[in-house]
Structure 1
């Protein structure tokens, strides 16, 4: 009988939930097991469609991980930051600016936020193929668990969502699943991410912005809901609303690649991270994500065979012959979102992608 013993990991003690009154976004809650029946899939496809059209974000509940399993993942997520020396972190630093790949560490003070202030955010990014590159010594015994976590996100959360999105477009249910293969070449990855509190001077200079407004450049992002508030989305009415923490829920949003694939029908929502409310002000903010990209060789052209897109009209960012593959999108470092004088947001280009450098 195989051993059920897992490596010891210190328990990460998260901040208590905020009790402050915040203006929260009204996001749909998708109960994913309902997709097990034909009737449930029909109903959920409508819910997902409305959520993507109106907010671009929604929650997923009953996703198959218990609270204990989720707690264990957050315990593991803290290790790259609390149990790895600065010198070892440098050994495994990523090369985002040079290659577009987010594998490895994104170290603190990598991005300029505003007025000479750089970020206080650390990432550790692990490709779904955990053998693609080396890892810090403390994480190596945990790679089997991280791999299983990646597979859970991919097969038990992502694929059901992609089937619902395809259904909402009146396409065969596996249309999007077929271009998001787990074993294909691509940059889909788990991210562990930690925000550290900043000085009052830094907050003043940056207007309390910790991560500037941006749209994720993949197709779907899965965020495991975290206690420390800070995530805000820009509503269709142009107002910033907070995303509420729901215990053991997932926060799912569309990215730029889905905008390409749906001809602008499902747009990524601009979101940012700000200083937490005062009762969580001095706590670090630990996050767990699954960032999803289509397979590298997928050409990001609209799925023109969709009857829905044919009815509503397709808005191409460029002619199909010039559309980038996902690999080209990953490699591009061009900024394609920035504020203009009217307060609106502009998006340009075909090989460009939105990322953390877009202004807030």
Structure 2
């Protein structure tokens, strides 16, 4: 057999062994390739929420994306079109080396983005005010306005290390890592933190909002569908951050009343000593229910005065801002200058009298006019750092080393 005949036979054998793909195999291969994409988006809770506030925010995302695509898609299409039309091999394309201006093209290039920016600005301005988390809701769901005399359910939220505390003042109960809401009722969240900053976030209900120590933030929201949803912190706060989750249950009024009754039958009570122990860092804390709550506990947490002997920040600010002439002139006895101060026991510089502070040399003290004002060519102008003469003891050591 000749060499060329052998090669021809080998090619024929390879052709005979080439597999054929049936439509069923093609569908299976396509499904395998698309499976990660489909499974990765199986729970698009942000775009398919269960609360009216989150739904309006999802619509805002879609409208903003659509407006931006009005300019992005044409630019991408025209880029490919121009590259194909004016390619090197297309001799039929018009060649105009002296062309430099087109009024019509300039109008399109500048007017279209300008109109889109105006539309985005108007949309952002309106939604920023209508979806302000501090603003009470105007409606419960599309087409169902909220009655003016409808009382919202108040829930006080405290982010701890690393768990969430929910206080229900109206029901007189509290829970840890368990949030239960009545369906189709406005909820007003008062949010704070016991230590570091966190973020309260229930994607199915509303956008995220920060919780900060010594401060109170607010959020108005509603859930319109029954079910169990996820809540978590979206701001890193330390070692136990990854397990700082809580469940959110939405139920009808009868179910919520039954749950509150069961919580009031719990054995634990959330008094101040219990809260001080709860405040200590802990991870993977299961749900806890408290049948009663210490009076004004949330206000004491905001005021950072939950421990015995601590003075609340509200009292400090009230006395500091009083009309007492001695306070107005910076004199008098500060509220937090006692024996039980949060943090350091020493009196801070802001609370000292001028004669108590004294003076000490420092490197940034004024040293007269800079050399550049009188000696423009001086080498001292090249250095922006002030170098003080070394003390005698260090100067002697430096001379000995040299």
Whether the TM-score (by the shorter chain) exceeds 0.5 is: no
TM range, normalised to the smaller chain?
under 0.3
Task: Give TM-score, length-normalised by structure 1.
Answer: 0.23
Task: Give TM-score, length-normalised by structure 2.
Answer: 0.21
Greater share of helix: 2
- Considering Cα pairs closer than 8 Å and 6+ residues apart, tell me whether 1 or 2 has the greater RCO: 1
